[in-house]
Structure 1
Amino acid sequence: MTKTYGDHVTVAMDGHVAVVTLDRPPHNFVSVDFMRDLADALEAVDADGQARAIVLQSEGKTFCGGADFSASDDKVASGMDGVQALYAQAVRLFSVETPIVAAVQGAAVGAGLGLALVADFRVAAPEARFVGNFVKLAFHPGFGLTYTLPRVIGQQRANLMFLTGRRIKAEEALAWGLADEVVPAGELRAAALRLAREIAENAPLAVISTRKTLRAGLAEAVKAQTAIEHREQALLRETEDFKEGVRSVAERRPGNWLGR
């Protein structure tokens, strides 16, 4: 039986694994409502108690393209109040108690990278790309990434990703610990499910207890960090460079920066 949350999130059980699928074509761009529906779904999985692990997967070529700043009708794209509401949902996602395995088939960009880091593990296809390209938008990282990314790959590699906006390919992500396994695209979902089942076959109370210790204070740290990120983003959003950044990324060209 499949349960639906909002228009773009479904949950199906496979034994003791909940398979959560995101389907907001073509790029699974984040929005406040979309992330609220996902948080509702994951919290429902927690509350039900049947699932001992979660697979988080998405339809299409892109795992999650982050925020669509070219969409003027989107709450996140159109103002900082929407961004703040998005980050409230991010804190909910990081508060989920059931272990999560993400299946990353394509690009995880910006807030999409943040979403991938909600998971405990990331199984990636060779085509996967991990991107924190905020500076190419003349913007500041968000979704708690300035806390979560260094926690996974170390401060220096996080510095490199954030200050260059570089696209990290799957094999490099594997070497860095940003991905835990790289498998052919056709085997991606099966590999993610296999890892989730490996978690789920263990004593559930012990798994949750151990995970709580390993992730102690994570949701609270994300909440504190998103407040800082939001403040910096609000300042940068008012600059001429930000407007140019949105244009240049949409036009696939380097930005013509003015420094104001």
Structure 2
Amino acid sequence: MSAPVVELREAEPGVALLTMRDQVHKNAFTPELVDGLLDAFETVRRDDTCKVVVMTGYDNYFSSGGTQDGLLAIYEGRSRFTDLNLYSLALECEVPVISAMQGHGIGGGFVMGLYADLVVMSRESVYTANFMRYGFTPGMGATCILPRKLGLPLAQEMLLGGANHRGAELAARGVPFPVVPRKDVLPEALRRARELADKPAVSLKALKQHLVAPIRRELPDVIRAELAMHEVTFHRDEVRQRVTDLFGE
């Protein structure tokens, strides 16, 4: 029996460590990874002892986002990004979530990490909102969460251009997150989790719900707008060709 691609364990009292480790698919959004994430956050929801979740990847990868099959399914009209409740998992979690993005965060994988309440990034890793490189407009609420977390000028540049950015470059651009050597990302995230876990659970949950309320109010309208843009931009032969070419590189 193969090992699960998502592992959830108690790192220390009150701190749950969620590790994505699908090395075959570089933590892309395969059905196995998606199911593992959904199950992990449901387990957290039922665990009264959990006060904070640290979400991380393996080696050089945090998450590489959508799969080729997944993108082609949207191109063909067989699915939409809203079919997978990934973008709001950290946002909807009752307790604070920390993204320890020790590895590359690509496309939807980067966006998923930014929905966490706290983020720690790696100097060596690549972070990109590369939707436009495939020829379609962003989804997963990226047009909401990137401006809120990174600031509008940098978010616009990343969303429009779809370029790769090393964590060190983003640190120089003033991203409001710790950007540390890769080996220090998880220890830094766990240190911050330890600080949070020292607080009363009821207070952590109440404050988190208050802090994320504006994003939750804004997000449905953003999602509808992104889906409308997808109807215009996604179902074109150029997108299919770009997806095929880029995944073949």
CA contact (8 A) 1:153 1:176 kept: no
How far apart are 1:164 and its partner, in Å?
1.1
Aligned-residue offset at 1:215: 0.6
Residues 35-184 of structure 1: pairs in structure 2 closer than 5 A? 35-69=34-68, 72=69, 75-79=70-74, 80-175=77-172, 178=175, 180-184=177-181
Q: 1: CA distance between counterparts of 2:4 and 2:119?
A: 25
Change (3 A) 1:147 1:160: same
Q: SS in structure 1 opposite 2:110?
A: helix
**Counterparts of 1:97 and 1:178 in 2: how far apart (Å)?**
26
Q: Measure, in 1, the Cα distance between the counterparts of 2:57 and 2:109.
A: 11
Would you say the 8 A contact 2:86–2:112 is kept in 1? no
Equivalent AA in structure 1 for residue 61 of structure 2: T
Structure 1 vs Structure 2: percent identity of aligned residues? 24
Asked whether the 8 Å contact 1:29–1:67 carries over to 2, the reply is: yes
**What is the deviation of 1:236?**
2.1
| Alpha-carbon distance between aligned partners in 2 of 1:223 and 1:33, rounded to the nearest angstrom | 26
Q: Which residue in 2 is equivalent to 1:28?
A: 27
Deviations 1:155-185 (A, max 9, x none): 2221111111122221333355646212222
Which position in structure 2 is the counterpart of 1:11?
8
Q: Kindly report the root-mean-square deviation, in angstroms, between the aligned alpha carbons of the 2 structures.
A: 2.3
Distance 1:89 1:112, change over 3 A: closer
Aligned AA (1:30): F
Structure 1, unaligned runs of 5 or more: 1-5, 253-260
The DSSP-based 3-state class of the residue aligned with 1:82 is coil
* TM-score, structure 1 normalization: 0.83
> Structure 2 CA distance, aligned partners of 1:32 and 1:251?
21
Change (3 A) 1:39 1:167: same
| Other structure's SS at 1:215 match | helix
Question: C-alpha distance in 1, partners of 2:163/2:95?
Answer: 31
Shift of 1:100: 1.0
CA distances 1:3-44 after superposition (whole Å, capped 9, x unpaired): xxx942111112110000112124100135533431331232
Aligned to 1:256: none
Deviates more, 1:28-37 or 1:106-115: 28-37
Q: Which amino acid aligns with 1:78?
A: A
Q: For residue 187 of structure 2, what is the aligned residue in structure 1? A: 190
1:212 deviation in Å? 1.2
Match of residue 204, structure 2, among 207, 210, 213 = 207
Q: TM-score, normalised by structure 2?
A: 0.87
**Contact 1:152/1:177 (<8 A) preserved:** no
Q: d(CA) in 2 for partners of 1:41 and 1:166?
A: 31
SS in structure 2 of the partner of residue 216 of structure 1: helix
Counterpart contact for 1:171–1:182, Cα < 8 Å: yes
Shift of 1:220: 4.7
In 1: Cα distance, 2:30 partner to 2:82 partner: 9
